[in-house]
Structure 1
Amino acid sequence: MPTMQVFVRFNSHHSFPVDVDSSWSVLQLKEVLAARQQVPPAEIRIIFAGRELRDSFIIGECDLASHSIVHVVRGRPQLSVEAQVSSSSSQEPQSLTRVDLNPQEDGASASNTSHGAAHRHPHFFVYCKQQCKDVQPGKLRVSCATCKQGTLTLNRGPGSWDDVLLPGRIQGRCQSQGCQGTVAEFYFKCAAHPTQEEDTAAALYMIKSNTQDVPCMVCEEVSTPLILFECEDAHTSCLDCFHTYCTTRLNDRQFVQDATLGYTLPCPAECEDSLIKEVHHFRVLGDEQYERYQRFGTEECVLQMGGVLCPGRGCGAGLLPEGETRRVECVRQGAQGCGLVFCKDCLEPFHQGECRPQMEQLFGAENRIAVDPESALRSRWERESEETVRQTTKPCPNCKAPVEKNGGCMHMTCPRAQCRYEWCWLCETAWNRDCQGDHWFG
C-alpha cells in the first residue's frame, strides 16, 4: 500500500511527522494520533486547507500530498457550514488546490474549455523564491487572520481571485482554543517540493494553464503555461516571449511608472487599460534582472518626484533637494551616501556660474586619469571615441537622459517612457516648425 509522510500540528504547537497510508480513512488517522497524544479519538478533529475532514473520508482522496501539514485540535466536532453540507452528501471534499478561481464564459468549466484539453487540470502558478527561483504550480492554503494558524474552517470556498487576494472577503471559524477569529487569510505555497509552514510564494494570477490551446501573440507557438494580459482582447504570450519583452523594455527603460501600480508594463500590443497590476509577475526575469527592475523603478520614482540620482561612482543614491538651489550634497548616513557635492542641473561637481556643455565636462580635466604621454601617442582610440560620443550623444533638454543619434533627421524623441520630449538635435530646444523647415535633415 502506498505510504507517505504528513506533518501534524497538534493544538497549534510544533509539527511532528506521521507516516500514513493513503488508503486509510480519516478515522484511522485519528486513532493513530489519539494513541500518540493519549486522548480519545472522538475528541480529535483534523483540519486541512480550510476544511474539517470527516471520519469517512479516505486520505488519498483528500488531496493530502506527502509532507502536507494538517492541523489537529482537541474538542468535539463543530463543523463549518460547508463541512455540514458535505457531511450530508456523498460528494468528496473539494481541496483549495482544486478550486478554479478563473471566471469561465457561458458557464463553461475549466475541464471542458477545449476539445483536446479536457484531461488537463487547471493550476495556480506561483513564483517560488525559496528553492526553485522559478515559476511553478502552486497550492492555495488558508489561515486565521487573528491567530495566524491553519485551524480556520471556511464558511464557503473561494470562487474568484478577489476572494483570495483581497482581505476579509471570506469568513470562517477558527478552531484553535481561545481564538475567536472569523476572517480567512489566504496564501500560496510552491507545489513542486515539500515546504515549511512559513514558506510562502508569490501568486501569479495572470499565468495560467493553456487549457484552450491559444497560440502566443508573439511567436505563435502553443505552449503552457502562458500569461494572459488583462486587456479587453485578452492577449496571450508564452513565458519565453514575455521574458524577452520585459528584458527589452527594461534595457530601454521603457517601463511605465504608475502612481498606483508602480513600475510596470502594458500588454505588448499596447492595449488600453492593460498595465500589469501585480508586479511579482516580473519575477520571471530572474534574480539579476529583477534586481535591475527594482533599482530602475526606484530611480524613476525619485526622478518623477523632482529628485536626482547621485552621479558619484558606485553610488546612485536617490536625493530630493529642497528649494531651488543647484548645490546638492549626497550626505553620508550609515552605509548610504558618498559625500559628493554636485550640481543639480548638470550632475557634475558643484561649481559657480553657468553649467558647461555636458560633453565638455565629461571629458574635462577633473575627470581625466593620469596618462603617460608616450602611451597617449600609441593609443588614439580614446580621442576618437570621445569625438564619437560628442557627435552621436546629447542629453535630453527636458530630463538630461543621454540620447544617441544614429543617422536620420534632427527630430529627436527622448527614449524614456516618462519623458518622450520631442526636441531638435541642432537647437537642443523643443521641436518646432522653424526646425522642421530650416534643418529637418541638417
Structure 2
Amino acid sequence: MSSIINAIKSILHSMLQLFWFGKKTITNSLSIYIKTSGGSTISVDLDPTWDIKNVKEIVAPKLGLEPEEVKIIFAGKELGDNITISECDLGQKSILHAVKIKSRPKLPQPRHSLIDEDEEQGSKPLCETLRDTMFSNEDGSRNSANAEDDSSSTKVDKKVHFYVFCPTCKALKHGKLRVRCHFCKSGAFTVHSDPQNWNDVLIPKQITGLCENSPELCANLLDNLEPTFAEFYFKCSEHTSLGEQDQAVPLYLIRPNLSNVPCLACADVSDPVFVFPCPEGHVTCLDCFRQYCITKLNERQFWQHPELGYTLACPAGCVDSFIKEIHHFRLLTDNQYAQYQRFGTEEFVLRSGGVLCPQPGCGMGILVDDPDCMKITCINGCGVMLNICF
C-alpha cells in the first residue's frame, strides 16, 4: 500500500514540476549543460535569477530522483539551495554536475578548512567566497610598498580577480578558477577547503577533496596511499565555454592594485599591475612592463635561464626575481612575441654548442651530434654548406 502511495506522490510531484516549469518565464536565457554521475549530459536553459533549488526541481525528474536527493556541484563546491545562478558566475555552455546524495562517513577536515558543519548541505561557489586580499602575495606577506597603509588594505573586500592568457581569444582576459579531481579529472569534485593564496592554486596536491565520480578509486582506499587532491585550473570568462577541457594560462603576476601602489617606472597608479616575483614585490603598470620587455628584446638582453627559458628579472636588479611563466610575455604584439621566440631559440642553439645558418633570410639553428663532422648542409631549403670547426 505504501509503495502505491509513494508512486502516486512521485507522479503528482513530477506533474507539479512540469506545471511550474511551464509557468516560468526565462527573461535572460543561459544555456547550461548538466552532467550526471551516470555519464549522461542534460542541456537546460536557465534564468540567472533562479536559484539552485529550482535547478534541482528541473533536473531531478530527468534522473528519476526527488529534488532533495540531488546535489549540484560546480567549481569544487556543493551549491546551496538558496544560491542564485547569477552568483555562480556561469557563462554560456558552462557545466554543472548533478550527483545523487548518498550517505558516507564524515571525513576529517584538513588545514584551514572553511567548511562548517552547518554548511555541509551546500555552500557558496568559489567566485563568492574568494577575496582579492587572499591573492595579493603568494605567501600572504605584504611588500614594502603596501606596508605603508595597512588600515586601508584591510578594508578591501572585493571578489578575487584572475587574469589569464586565453589561447582562443589570443589576448589577456579575465579568468575563472575551476576545480577537478587530480586523479580522474572529473569536475564532480568538492574541496575540503578554499585556496588561500597562489601557492595553493599553482602547486599540485595542496588541497584535498571528495571526488563524486569514483571515490573508491580516486581515494586509493584499497592501499590507502594518499588522499584525493584538488586540481585547480583556469578558464577565460569572455567567450562561450568549449567544455571542461577549455583552459587558459594563469597570468598570476598580473594582479589588482589593491593599495594603489605607483608604477616603479612612470609613478602612475593604474589597475591592474604587474608584480615582479622579487621579495620586494616591485610593481609596474602593464604599459611600462611591455616597454621594458620591448627594450630588452631589441637589445637582446633577455636571460637564457637553464630552467625557465628565455626570460627577464625585476628591472630593479632584485635577486631571485626571474619570471617563471613566460606566457606573461604574450602581452607583446604577435610580431614581437614571434621575435621573442626566435631569439630564445637562437640563444638555446648557441648555448648548446650549435650554429646558425648564415644565409640571409634563413637563420636555421643547427645542432651537430657528431664531433668528427667537419661539413654540414643546411636542410632548411637554402642548401648552404657550412664548415664546422670545434
TM bracket, shorter-chain basis: 0.7 to 0.9
Q: CA deviation at 1:87?
A: 3.4
Partner of 2:6: none
Q: Note if contact 1:146-1:179 (Cα within 8 Å) is conserved in structure 2.
A: no
Q: Which amino acid aligns with 2:239?
A: H
Q: Residues of 2 paired with 1:266 and 1:56: CA distance?
A: 47
| Pairs within 5 Å for 1:272-287 | 272-287=319-334
Letter in 2 for 1:149: S
1:229 Cα deviation after fit: 0.8
Shift of 1:238: 0.8
Q: CA offset at residue 127 of structure 1?
A: 0.9
Instruction: Provide the rounded CA distance (Å) in 2 between the counterparts of 1:309 and 1:282.
Output: 24
Which is higher, the Rg of structure 1 or of structure 2?
1
Amino acid across the alignment from 1:274: S
Match of 1:165 in 2: 202
Letter aligned with residue 211 of structure 2: C
- Within the candidate set 85, 88, 96, 2:116 is matched to 85
Give the fraction of aligned pairs with identical amino acids, expressed as a percent.
40
Question: Which structure 1 segments of 5+ residues have no match?
Answer: 347-442
Structure 1's 118 and 4: CA in aligned 2 closer, same or farther, altered over 3 A?
farther
* Cα distance change on mapping 1:177 and 1:196 into 2, 3 Å: same
Q: Deviations over 1:384-422 (max 9, x none)?
A: xxxxxxxxxxxxxxxxxxxxxxxxxxxxxxxxxxxxxxx
In the aligned structure 2, how far is the partner of 1:11 from the partner of 1:105?
A: 41
Indicate conservation of the 8 Å contact 1:96/1:141, yes or no.
no
Residue 101 of structure 1: aligned partner: 135
Contact 1:134-1:286 within 8 A present in 2 as well: no
Is the alpha carbon distance of 1:14 and 1:209 closer, same or farther for their aligned partners in structure 2, counting shifts above 3 Å?
farther
- Report the counterpart of residue 130 of structure 1 in structure 2: 168
Change in Cα spacing, 1:177 to 1:44, as seen in structure 2 (3 Å) is farther
Residue correspondences, number: 339
Letter in 2 for 1:299: E
Read off the aligned partner of 2:232 and give its amino acid letter: F
Shift of 1:72: 1.6
Matched, 1:26 2:52: yes
* Residue in structure 1 matching 2:388, options 344, 358, 362: 344
SS of 2:217's equivalent? coil
Residue-by-residue CA offset, 1:21-72 (whole Å, 9 max, x unaligned): 3443322211101223433333322110101123344444444455432112
- Select 2:80's aligned residue among 39, 54, 63: 54
1:113 CA displacement: 6.6
Q: Which amino acid aligns with 1:25?
A: D
In 1, the alpha carbon distance for the partners of 2:155 and 2:181 equals: 36
| Equivalent position of 1:235 in the other structure | 282
Output the amino acid matched with 1:340. Answer: V
Q: Secondary structure at the match of 1:139?
A: strand
The residue matched to 1:275 in structure 2 has which SS? coil
CA shift for structure 1 position 276: 1.0
Change (3 A) 1:179 1:337: farther
Distance 1:57 1:83, change over 3 A: farther
Structure 1 contact 317–330 (Cα < 8 Å) conserved = no
1:286 Cα shift?
A: 2.8
2:190 aligned partner, one-letter code: T
2:242 matched to which residue of 1?
Answer: 196
Name the SS for the 1:246 alignment partner: helix
8 Å Cα contact 2:176-2:237 kept in structure 1:
yes
Structure 1 residues 155 and 20: alpha-carbon distance in aligned structure 2, compared to 1, 3 A threshold: same
TM-score, normalising length: structure 2: 0.76
Map 1:216-231 onto structure 2 (within 5 A). Answer: 216-231=263-278
Superposition deviation, residue 13 in structure 1? 4.0
Of the two structures, which has the highest relative contact order with CA contacts closer than 8 Å and spacing of 6 or more? 2
Question: What secondary structure sits across from 2:336 in the alignment?
Answer: helix
- Report 1:29-428 matches (<5 A): 29-64=55-90, 67-76=93-102, 85=116, 87-88=118-119, 93-96=124-127, 98-99=129-130, 100-103=134-137, 104-105=140-141, 114=152, 118=156, 120-131=158-169, 133-177=170-214, 180-181=217-218, 182-197=228-243, 198-322=245-369, 327-330=374-377, 332=379, 338-344=382-388
Deviates more, 1:336-345 or 1:220-229: 336-345
**TM-score of the pair, normalised by structure 1:** 0.68
Contact 2:278 2:314 in 1 (8 A): yes
Q: CA RMSD in A?
A: 3.3
Q: Unaligned 5+ residue runs, structure 2?
A: 1-25, 219-227
Matched residue, 1:439: none
1:180 counterpart SS class: helix
Distance 1:9 1:314 in 2: 53
